[in-house]
């Protein structure tokens, strides 16, 4: 009963926050409400026994997306004069669609089909890791994960096409010293998350997102001047996850008897996965950090 009450409150809160973010008059409120919505989502994932997602959502939904949105928000200053949007027509249409969707989700059978989960459990022993989510991500459906890293890289490449700089303010001494104190802890924590991912919730993405937030904090306080795409080492690390992944995949094709793309031999699977994950963590962290803070200030690049 207590749990149900918690669920009701959480769901009501989620809907209220989302609705308020969509309908609020001012964008600042919308963004703030959206960040709160992200935090609540993380809570919901934890409640629904998805700790991996809760970790990822907390780092992303609440942290990085918020930072990104506030950067965009800073440019809306002086940008006003949108006509007052219509409410009723969209509302009626969307209410009809929601009712349809609501009816549809109640048609979902409560009895799950467990064949796929059973298959995962069966093969977990030969996957190289003991945490099923990591096994799916880095072994059973590794191709999805490789493409996902590519999507992340593309976001960075695309964003680099359209640079727009916001001046970084000189570090406030208190925040500078705080950032110096926080970042080693974040580094340690993300290494722990990565290591733990083999056996328990955690893994490359969560660790990478956490590390990225550490990098962003430091960068915003005028540290880490080397953090730039122009820096060859940074570029190498951004690409390292994909390069390691592709090379591991191609190497697996060369092994005798293994003629399938991305099939790790059982004996080496654990090692390969850890290797790929480590590079992926670094790549994810640097990519996300570069996405949030952009390039350091320089003279205007030639158009």
Partner 1 sequence: MLSFYLYLATAALLLGVGSLGLWRGPELLRRILALNVIGAGIFMLMVSLAYRPVLYGEPADSVLHALVLTGLVVAVSATAFALALLGRLLARPQ
Partner 2 sequence: MWPAVLLVTLPLAAALLMLLWPRRARVLHFAVAVGLLPLAVSFLLQVTVSGEQQWFLGNWGPLLAIRWQADGLTTLLLLVSVTLHLLVSAYVGSIQRRNPLPAAFWPLSNLLLASLQALWLSRDLFNLYVCLELLGMVAVALVTLSGDKALRPALDYLLYSLFASLCYLLGVALIYAGYGVLDIPMLAGQLEANWLNAVALTLMTLGLMLKAACWPLHLWLPAAHASAPAPVSALLSALVVKGPLFILYLLWTTLAPAAFLPAAAYLLASAALGAMLFGGIAAIRTPYSKSLVAYSTVAQLGYATLALAFILRFNLPEFVAAMWLFVLSHALAKAACFLAIGELQHTLGARQVEQLKGASQTMPLAMFAFAVAGGSLIGLPPSGGFLAKWALLLGLWQSQQFFWLLALVVATLLSAAYVFRVVVLAFDRAAPTAPDFSPQRLPQYLALLPALLVWVMAVFSLPLLTLLKQEL
List the interface residues with partner 1, window 139-178 (CB under 8 A). 140-141, 144-145, 148, 151-152, 154-156, 158-159, 162-164
Shortest CB 171 distance to partner 2, Å: 31
| CA atoms within 13 A of residue 166's CA, in its CB half-sphere | 16
Site for partner 1 in 200-259 (CB under 8 A): 205
Structure tokens at 293: 């803070």
Which CA distances in Å does 203 have to 8, 149, 245, 259, 277? 31, 14, 15, 28, 7
With CB cut-offs between 5 and 8 Å by kind, which of partner 1, partner 2, none does residue 71 bind? partner 1
With CB cut-offs between 5 and 8 Å by kind, which of partner 1, partner 2, none does residue 205 bind? partner 1
Shortest CB 102 distance to partner 1, Å: 4
Which residue number, 130 or 177, has a Cβ lying nearer to partner 1? 130
**How large is the greatest C-alpha to C-alpha distance in the chain, in angstroms?**
67
Which residue number, 4 or 181, has a Cβ lying nearer to partner 1? 4
With CB cut-offs between 5 and 8 Å by kind, which of partner 2, partner 1, none does residue 249 bind? partner 2
Which residue number, 136 or 227, has a Cβ lying nearer to partner 1? 136
Shortest CB 233 distance to partner 2, Å: 11
Identify which range of 110-118, 231-239, 256-264, 269-277 contacts partner 1 by CB under 8 A: 110-118
Question: Can residue 94 be called a binding residue for partner 1 (CB under 8 A)?
Answer: yes
Which CA distances in Å does 29 have to 38, 41, 63? 14, 18, 16
Site residues for partner 2 per CB under 8 A: 100-101, 103-104, 107-109, 112-116, 119-120, 123, 139-144, 147-148, 150-151, 154-155, 157-158, 160-162, 232, 235-236, 239, 242-243, 246, 249-250, 253, 258-264, 303
Site for partner 1 in 15-74 (CB under 8 A): 15, 18-19, 21-23, 27, 30-31, 34, 37, 41, 44-45, 48-50, 52-53, 56-57, 60-61, 64-65, 68-69, 71-73
Residue 23 has a CB neighbour count (10 Å cut-off) of: 13
Which residue number, 109 or 256, has a Cβ lying nearer to partner 2? 109
Which residue number, 150 or 166, has a Cβ lying nearer to partner 2? 150
With CB cut-offs between 5 and 8 Å by kind, which of partner 2, partner 1, none does residue 298 bind? none
Check if the beta carbon of residue 193 is closer than 8 Å to that of residue 131: no
Which residue number, 71 or 175, has a Cβ lying nearer to partner 1? 71
Shortest CB 58 distance to partner 1, Å: 11
Shortest CB 95 distance to partner 2, Å: 17
């Amino acid at each position: 009963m207590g749990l149900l009450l918690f669920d009701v409150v959480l769901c009501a809160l989620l809907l209220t926050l989302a609705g308020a973010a969509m309908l609020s008059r001012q964008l600042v409120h919308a963004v703030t409400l959206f960040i709160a919505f992200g935090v609540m989502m993380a809570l919901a994932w934890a409640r629904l026994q998805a700790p991996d997602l809760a970790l990822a959502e907390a780092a992303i939904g609440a942290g990085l997306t918020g930072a990104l949105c506030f950067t965009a928000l800073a440019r809306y200053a002086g940008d006003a004069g949108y006509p007052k949007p219509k409410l009723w027509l969209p509302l009626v249409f969307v209410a009809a669609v929601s009712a349809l969707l609501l009816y549809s989700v109640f048609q979902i059978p409560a009895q799950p089909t467990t064949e796929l989960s059973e298959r995962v459990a069966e093969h977990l022993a030969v996957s190289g890791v003991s945490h099923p989510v990591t096994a799916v991500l880095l072994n059973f459906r590794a191709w999805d994960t490789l493409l996902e890293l590519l999507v992340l890289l593309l976001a960075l490449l695309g964003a680099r096409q359209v640079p727009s700089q916001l001046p970084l303010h000189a570090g406030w001494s208190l925040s500078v010293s705080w950032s110096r104190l926080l970042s080693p802890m974040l580094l340690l924590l993300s290494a722990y998350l990565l290591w733990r991912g083999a056996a328990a919730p955690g893994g490359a993405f969560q660790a990478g997102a956490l590390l990225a937030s550490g990098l962003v904090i430091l960068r915003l306080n005028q540290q880490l001047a080397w953090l730039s795409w122009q820096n060859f080492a940074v570029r190498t690390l951004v690409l390292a996850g994909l390069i390691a992944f592709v090379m591991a995949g191609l190497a697996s094709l060369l092994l005798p008897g293994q003629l399938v793309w991305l099939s790790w031999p059982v004996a080496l699977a654990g090692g390969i996965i850890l290797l790929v994950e480590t590079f992926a963590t670094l790549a994810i962290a640097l990519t996300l950090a570069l996405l949030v803070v952009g390039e350091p200030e320089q003279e205007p690049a030639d158009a």
